[in-house]
Chains A and B, each alone.
Chain A
Amino acid sequence: QKEVEQDPGPLSVPEGAIVSLNCTYSNSAFQYFMWYRQYSRKGPELLMYTYSSGNKEDGRFTAQVDKSSKYISLFIRDSQPSDSATYLCAMSEQGGKLIFGQGTELSVKP
């Protein structure tokens, strides 16, 4: 079993939809949680960074961490075609290396 599991998709939604992207993990020591967005042939770009549990909101994006369930989510409201990309979750322990999910490919259709 991988330490971090992420459904690779692809996920296709109409413009304006609410998108929910998820990752599960097995290591209860993970404390730092991140979401990256990666456009084709580009490097990942940091979207959200959360320490421990709780919610964090930034514009149309909301990140949630549920440590009791070992589950993190990224919600995108009012999705746009420009949101079409691969979304990677990543997490680490205190002082540990970053562990990435496989990435979920999202397509937002006009």
Chain B
Amino acid sequence: DGGITQSPKYLFRKEGQNVTLSCEQNLNHDAMYWYRQDPGQGLRLIYYSQIVNDFQKGDIAEGYSVSREKKESFPLTVTSAQKNPTAFYLCASSKTVHQPQHFGDGTRLSIL
């Protein structure tokens, strides 16, 4: 059963701590994306990757980092430089950049 798996569902971060959100897809999609969703603001693009070993900043990349070492995986690290990390984080993938994006079920990050 193909899809996108995000883990964990809930994550808590202490002050000064880096945390990593996992995203894995078995759809054989080339492109992967990370979005942040805040109430009343829709989805905002953090980073995206069109192919392995390549990625580009989105609209709100500051305080975040990513890697794309494998086609199936696109982890997102929320660093201590991100001062307001509390949000719902969504990972998506698409066959190519022109195709519709399919989403995982998100990770909710909160501050302790």
Binding site for B on A (CB under 8 A): 6, 8, 32, 34, 36, 41-46, 49, 88, 92, 94-95, 97-98, 100-103
Give bound CA distance, A88 to B106, whole Å.
16
A-B contact count (CB 8 A): 45
Structural contact, B100 and A88, CB atoms closer than 8 A: no
Apart from A44-B103, A46-B101, A95-B98, 16 more pairs, CB < 8 Å: A6-B42, A32-B98, A41-B105, A43-B90, A43-B92, A43-B103, A43-B106, A45-B103, A46-B100, A88-B42, A88-B43, A95-B97, A98-B45, A98-B101, A100-B42, A103-B42
Contacts of A98 in B (CB 8 A): 45, 101
Q: Distance in Å from the Cβ of A74 to the closest Cβ of chain B?
A: 15
Interface size on B, residues (CB 8 A): 21
**Contacting residue for B48 out of A43, A44, A97, CB 8 A:** A97
The winner among B4, B43, B103 for most chain A CB atoms within 10 A is: B43
| Chain A interface SS verdict (over half) | loop
Q: Distance in Å from the Cβ of B83 to the closest Cβ of chain A?
A: 23
Structural contact, A94 and B105, CB atoms closer than 8 A: no
Structural contact, A102 and B40, CB atoms closer than 8 A: yes
